[in-house]
Each structure stands twice: as structure tokens, then as C-alpha cells.
Chain A
């Protein structure tokens, strides 16, 4: 298969087309040629900010972070717009559920002058309908684009409701077209992907609901609940409705800077210049800080552990100290890069599905 031999419809000049190409602007006459004509009407685009304006906003972010001297015009190694295609899929579903849960309850009895306690198991049956549960799921229309920045960009878009225009009326420059990633995933597959994500989430929620409801019932019987295990469950998703948007191209701006021997990389949201992620080398002082933290946590937990060794909690504390010192020392030595997340991106990511990001906030 080959798409070689593509020529400009307007002037006949040869065009360099790759499997990525949706449309290409002729470098001779500037005419916009559609390689995949079917997408012409279909695709929406969020118009990127002017490059100069983007760099100005980045400069502002950098100086607030004490990196003003680094992310300067003269240190730029490379920079590019890319436009990532997404579908936004609305999914709604209900679920019939039933299940049998072993609820562990705490029992106590007064024996002469002391209290004796033990746990017993109560078998609880639950049944019901959950939902309707709905969500809007961004699906990157690319194969193998599971990167976090792509997800962050999508949730930022959903949060900001930036305007998406039909692609032809958006007045996009030549530089922009070079960075447009082609749409590889058709709408049908995008809906399947969204269905998979949505129903997995629903199954997870309903599984927790089964446990919670069983525990509620046990509490109503006057029991003190300490935990529960599902013995069997049935979860049947029903009345499912999935609707996909038109494909939307979201612009992302990637720049890298060299400062002395150090390399910095930054990803910006293309339409408002917010920093999504900034990658920077780890400083010696940061390494020292992590090493100090390793010593401090190990000392605290180890000391406390020894002091409470008579109770079995002590062992747990020492093991925690093990883990903490191992983690901090690895942080001190292993990473060659550190990341700073922009505030808006962090918020967007937390609103999204990534649990890992609450960690990231703590970290930065």
C-alpha cells in the first residue's frame, strides 16, 4: 500500500504524505489539500493560541517557579505544535445486581470482670438496581496514545469548554498542519472503548455498593461491622446508551530547552498556554533533601517501632520505616528528571480518572 504520488489539487506540486496525514498545505501555493476527504466536514478543532502568546505565558509560569532564566527564547532546542484527535463519548448505563456477602461482625461478652471479644460472620443477601450512571469519556483517536498528558489535555478541555470549530473555518496556519495527528480510530471502535471503560467503572462501583449495602443491613440488625467479603455476585449492565461526538483536534505545544548541560521539556495546553507538565533535571539539593527524608523517616519510624515493640504495632512501624527509607533513597538517586504539573492540569487530572495524581499534587 502506498500513498506516494500525491499532488496538490491546485498547482500540481508533489506533496509529501504519510499515513498520519489528514490534510496538507501545499508548500508552493499554500492550498489546503484533503488527503482523507471524508473527514473534511466531520472534524472539529480548538484553535491554538498564537505561538508568541504561548511562550509569553510559559515565561510567566517559569519565572513564578524560579526558572525564568532557563526557559528563555535563546535556550530553545525544539518546539512544535501537535494536534491530538479525540472523541468525547457520553455513556449511560444501569445495572441489576444481587449478591451474597459474608459480613464480619464484632461480638463482645462480659466475663466476670473483663470483656471478651471475637468476630463472627453473618451471611447477607442483597439485590437491587443501580443507576442510571452516566459519564463523558474522552477517547484518544490514536493507537497506543495512553500517555497522561493526552488524558490531561482531554479533561482540561472538558472542564474549560473551549470552543471547537469546524476545521475549515478555523483559519489554521501551515505550521499547524504539520503537527496534526491523523485519526486512526473510527467512531465505532471509539464507542467500544468508551463502553469498556464505562462499564468497568460501573462494575467496580456496583461491587462496592453490594458490600456497602450488606454492611448497612448488618448494622440495621444491631451488629458492629468490621469488614465484609463477597461470596458471589451478579452484575448485569442494562439500558446502555453510548453517543460519540465528532472527532475534535486539541492542540498541544511541546518545547524543549537546553540550559548549560541540562535539558528541560515542557508541554503546554495549546489553546490557553497552561502548563500541563514541565520536566526538569533533579538538582543536587533535591537529592540531598530526599536522602535526609530517608534518614528522618527511618529514624522516626524505627525509634517509635522499638519503643512500641511490646505491642505488635512496633513491627509494623519498623516495616513502614523500611519502606519509607527505601523509597526516599531511591528518589534521591534514581530519578534523572523531575516533573512539575501546572495547577489547572492537576485539577483537571484529579477530576479525571487518575488516582495517581492526588499523589502528584502532594509531590510537587
Chain B
């Protein structure tokens, strides 16, 4: 291994191996045990999300999804050729945030089935999943919700299947960053409830490390290369480049221009009705429809179409994955 490497001994099987010094966790390449480099004896919960879509299935998803895009090349299905597929295992930290800001003298009676509280301040509870490395080879959206299904215990055999990314960020540091807004909210709640006499109880926990699989797929269409990123566990298309057809682009642009023209006509008709003059309405309608024209031009003025998964849109409609 290159410079900056250090020698580690697996606390479980005793094998020695080399890994970069920057690692917070190391995974033994022989038995798959994951341990904290500075505390090898501490147990680490290490999970792996199953690959439910292999590279052929993932490429099929890419093609299906591209075919659904407006303006995609007509001969896409027959002319697109698979080029390569790499699996990236992205490391994630899973945290459970649970903070309470109690009013002074607050009495809590917590049983197994019920909780009773006399006077209460503030509280925040959430599960947070955060990337465990800065260097994500692929664009995973910031607030991507990782599906709940298909979690397994980590197996070393997956190391050979793909690009295994080691977690490089300090989990405590990441934890305090993700916790910050929740703490702030709980404190603001308690201040609203009982002024400055309060006490913060932090029961937040670090749950463990998980590796999540993504496919980075490249394919060719008429000599040009296009890229796509697929969630290998649940098949969500995160990013997709696709070729646009000349006809599709022309139709799209024409549609944008038509929309603006018709908006002008409708506007003109309105002012004719109200004020007996046509031109001002044409201008008004056309101006109001400019954003639509911009959207159409942005989309169809280029050869390469791009789709990006938006968590904010999917959060409302996404099924359980």
C-alpha cells in the first residue's frame, strides 16, 4: 500500500494487514471484522444493505427509465450499448438522536407501557443517517432516505464485488454536527416552557456503521458515453444521462415556443375583452409564460438529457422501499 499506510492487527482473527492511516474504522480483509482503529476491542455494529439488483437488472432499469424521459432518442432501445458497471459500497453512520430539555423539577414516571410527565420542557427524537466519508465517488443526494428493507450483517465476501469505501470521518464529530439542530430546537422549546431554569438530558446513541451499495453504470450511444447511478438495493435511479433525439428536441422547443405564443394570444383575448385593446395582453401573456419557455429551452437546447432524483419530491410520494 502507498505512503501514509499503517499496519493493523485484526482483533478477531489476528491477521495483519495494511490500510491508510486516515481510516477511522478498518475492515479485516480476511474475516470481515470491522473495528475502530483507535479502540480495536470495542464492538462495532456493522451492517450491509443487500444488493437486490445485479448489474444486468440495474442496466435494465437504466434503459427503462431513459425510455420514459421526454425527448429520448428514438433508437435508444436498440442502439444503447452497455459499457461498464462498478459497484460502490458507500459507508454510512446511523444515529439515534434523543434529547430532552427538562424544566427544573420536572417529574417523569416512565413505565414499560406508559409515560407520565407533570410539567414538560422540550424534546427531539430522530433517526439520522449520515455519510461516513467526504469523498463520495457518486452523487448521493444530501437528504436521500435510505430504505428500511434488506439490512444484513456485514460479510467480507462483498469486498471483492465492488469498490469498498472506508469510513474516514470521525463518528463523534459527525454525530455532534447532526445533533446540533435537534439540541437547539429542544432548548428553544424548554425556554418557551419554563425560561432559563432547565437541564438537558442527552440519550442519543450511535447505532453503527452500514455500507450501502450503488451502481455506477456507463453505457454508449453512437460513440458517446453516458453515466447513470442506481441504488443497488432498491433500484431507485439517482442520476441518469440520456441521449436526446433531434426530433424530440425540435418538438420540445416548438412546444415551449407554442406555449409562449398561445399565452400571448390568450392574454390578448383577455385585454380585448376588458379594455378593447389586443397588444398589451399579448405582451403580458408572453411575459408571464417566459418561465415555461426557459424550462423548455433548458431541457431541449442540449444533446444530453439529465435526470436527478430529488428527495424533496419523492418524500411525499415514495412508497416504502
**Interface residue ranges, A against B (CB under 8 Å):** 1-4, 18-20, 82, 84, 93, 142-150, 181, 187-189, 191-193, 195-196, 199, 203, 233-244, 252, 254, 261-263, 265, 267, 276-277, 279, 281-282, 287-288, 291-292, 294-307, 309, 318, 321-326, 328-330, 332-333, 336-337, 339, 354, 356, 360
- Chain B residues near A82 (CB, 8 Å)? 149, 320
* Inter-chain contact A325/B317, CB cutoff 8 Å: no
Cβ-defined contact, B192 with A234, below 8 A: yes
Q: Most B CB atoms within 10 A — which of A4, A19, A181, A294? A: A294
Q: Which of B110, B252, B290 contacts A322 (CB 8 A)?
A: B290
* Interface contact tally, CB-CB below 8 A: 271
B116 / chain A contacts, CB cutoff of 8 Å: 240-242
- Assuming the contacts A191-B115, A235-B193, A252-B320, asked whether A295 and B262 have C-beta atoms less than 8 A apart, the reply is yes
| Contact A333/B115 with A18-B152, A298-B259 known, Cβ cut-off 8 Å | no
Contacts of A241 in B (CB 8 A): 114-116
B265 contacts A189, C-beta separation under 8 Å: no
Question: B91: which A residues are within 8 A, CB to CB?
Answer: none
From known contacts A265-B319, A291-B255, A307-B275, infer whether A333 and B288 are also in contact, taking CB-CB under 8 Å: no
- Top-9 shortest CB links A-B: A299-B266, A321-B288, A303-B270, A302-B288, A306-B284, A303-B267, A298-B289, A326-B291, A329-B292
Among B120, B189, B295, which residue has its beta carbon within 8 angstroms of that of A326?
Answer: B295
Contact B127–A336 (Cβ < 8 Å) = no
Report A289 CB to chain B, min CB distance, Å.
12
**Across the interface, which residues of B come within 8 angstroms of A307, CB to CB?**
270-271, 274-275, 280-281, 284
| Residues A303 and B269 in contact, CB atoms below 8 Å apart | yes
> What are 22 of the A-B contact pairs (CB < 8 Å)?
A143-B127, A143-B207, A144-B127, A144-B147, A189-B96, A191-B110, A192-B98, A236-B194, A263-B68, A265-B319, A277-B317, A295-B266, A298-B289, A298-B292, A304-B284, A305-B284, A305-B288, A307-B281, A318-B287, A326-B295, A329-B292, A354-B316
| Chain B residues proximal to chain A, CB less than 8 Å | 43, 45-47, 64-65, 67-70, 77, 94, 96, 98, 103, 110, 112-120, 123-125, 127, 129, 145-153, 189, 192-195, 207, 252, 255-256, 258-260, 262-271, 274-275, 280-281, 283-296, 299, 307, 315-321
**When A306-B280, A307-B270 are in contact, do A195 and B123 touch as well, CB less than 8 Å?**
yes
Known: A1-B46, A291-B258. 7 other contacts (CB 8 A): A148-B319, A203-B189, A238-B119, A295-B263, A298-B292, A322-B290, A329-B291
Measured CA separation A4–B316 after assembly (Å): 38
B286 contacts A302, C-beta separation under 8 Å: yes
Chain A residues with CB under 8 Å of B153's CB are: 1-4, 18-19
Whether A20 contacts B123 by the Cβ 8 Å rule is: no
Which B residues lie within 8 Å of A147 (CB)?
145, 318-321
Give which listed residue, A193, A309, A336, contacts B125 with CB less than 8 A.
Answer: A193
Q: Contacts A318-B284, A326-B292 given: A333-B70 contact, CB under 8 Å?
A: yes
Bound complex: CA A324 to CA B241 (Å): 28
A residues within 8 A CB of B150?
20
Residue of A nearest to B192 (CB): A235
Are B296 and A144 in contact, with the CB atoms below 8 A? no
Contact B115 A242 (CB under 8 A): yes
Contacts of A234 in B (CB 8 A): 192-195
Q: Are A144 and B192 in contact (CB under 8 A)?
A: no
Measured between beta carbons, the chain A residues less than 8 angstroms from B270 are 299-300, 303-304, 307
Name the contact of B145 in the complex, choosing from A19, A84, A146, A325 (C-beta under 8 A): A146
**B261 CB to nearest A CB, Å:** 8
What's the Cα separation between A54 and B141 when bound, in Å?
36
- Chain B contacts of A195 at CB under 8 A? 115, 123, 125
Name A303's contact: one of B123, B284, B319 (CB within 8 Å). B284
How long is the Cα–Cα vector from A93 to B120 in the complex, in angstroms?
Answer: 10
Contact yes or no, B123 A143, CB < 8 A? no
- B307 to A: closest C-beta gap in Å: 7
Q: Which residues of A contact B316 (CB under 8 A)?
A: 148, 354, 356, 360
A241 CB to closest chain B CB, in angstroms?
5
A238 cross-chain contacts in B, Cβ below 8 A: 117-120
A144-B292 in contact given A234-B192, A307-B281 (Cβ < 8 Å):
no
Known: A82-B149, A242-B114, A299-B263. A261 touches B98 (CB 8 A): no
CB-contact partner of A196 in B45, B112, B123, B285, under 8 A: B123
The distance in angstroms between the C-alpha atoms of A354 and B274, with both chains bound, is 41
Which residue of chain B lies nearest to A17 when distances are taken between CB atoms in the complex? B153
Nearest B residue to A84 via CB reads: B320
Q: Which residues of A contact B285 (CB under 8 A)?
A: 298-300, 302-303, 321
Bound-complex Cα distance A72 to B86 (A): 35
In the complex, the chain A residue whose C-beta lies closest to that of B289 is A298
Residues of A within 8 A of B77 (CB): 261
Given A18-B153, A294-B259, A307-B281, answer yes or no on A328-B264 (Cβ-Cβ < 8 Å).
no
B192 nearest CB across to chain A (Å):
5
Residues of chain B with a CB closer than 8 A to A150's CB = 320
B307 touches A322 (CB 8 A): no
CA distance A333 to B118 in the complex (A): 54
A18 touches B151 (CB 8 A): yes
Given contacts A238-B120, A243-B114, contact A145 B148 (CB under 8 A): yes
A183 to chain B, nearest CB (A): 11
- Enumerate chain A residues within 8 angstroms of B147, measured Cβ to Cβ: 144
> How far, in Å, is B187 (CB) from chain A's closest CB?
14
Q: Is the beta-carbon distance between A336 and B307 smaller than 8 angstroms?
A: yes
Min C-beta distance of B217 to chain A, whole Å: 17
The verdict on A328 contacting B118 (CB below 8 Å), with A189-B96, A299-B265 known, is no
Assuming the contacts A236-B120, A302-B263, A329-B259, asked whether A261 and B64 have C-beta atoms less than 8 A apart, the reply is yes
> Which A residues lie within 8 Å of B129 (CB)?
144
A233 nearest in chain B by CB position: B192
The answer to whether B263 and A187 touch across the interface, beta carbons within 8 angstroms, is no
Give min CB distance, A50 to chain B, whole Å: 22
Select one of B96, B110, B281 contacting A306, CB under 8 A.
B281
- Chain A residue at smallest Cβ distance from B52: A78
Chain B residues, Cβ within 8 Å of A191? 110, 114-115
